[in-house]
Amino acid sequence: MAAQDNVEPLVVLQPISVDTRSPDQTGMLVLVNGLLVAVLVRLDAPEHERPGAWFMEVGLGRLAGVRAPTFDTLEEATRWMRRRVRGYAC
């Protein structure tokens, strides 16, 4: 367990279309060490406060029920995901 804490989690993004009953359809599956932990969706509807930002539509496991901030870029989202799941033995 202690050894795993020092290993940087491998975060992989895979494009996916998501039904949100809104124009926000462009999504990314977020896999950490091969396990699905979240679905990110780009905010394309003009009504949003930050159009173009990325929103964590769903969180799984450790991210379940977490109210995440919206992210300006996928890089920022990835950094946040990595920080949240670091030390978490997937």
By the criterion CB under 8 A, which residues form the site for another protein? 20-22, 24, 43, 45, 47-49, 55, 67, 70
Q: How many residues comprise the chain?
A: 90
C-beta of 59: minimal distance to another protein in Å? 11
For another protein, the closer CB: 26 or 70: 70
C-beta of 68: minimal distance to another protein in Å? 8
Dihedral sign from CA coordinates of 55, 46, 16, 73: negative
For another protein, the closer CB: 8 or 67: 67
Start-to-end Cα distance in the chain: 11
- The answer to whether 85 touches 62, Cβ cutoff 8 Å, is yes
In whole angstroms, what is the distance from residue 42 CA to residue 17 CA? 10
C-beta of 36: minimal distance to another protein in Å? 20
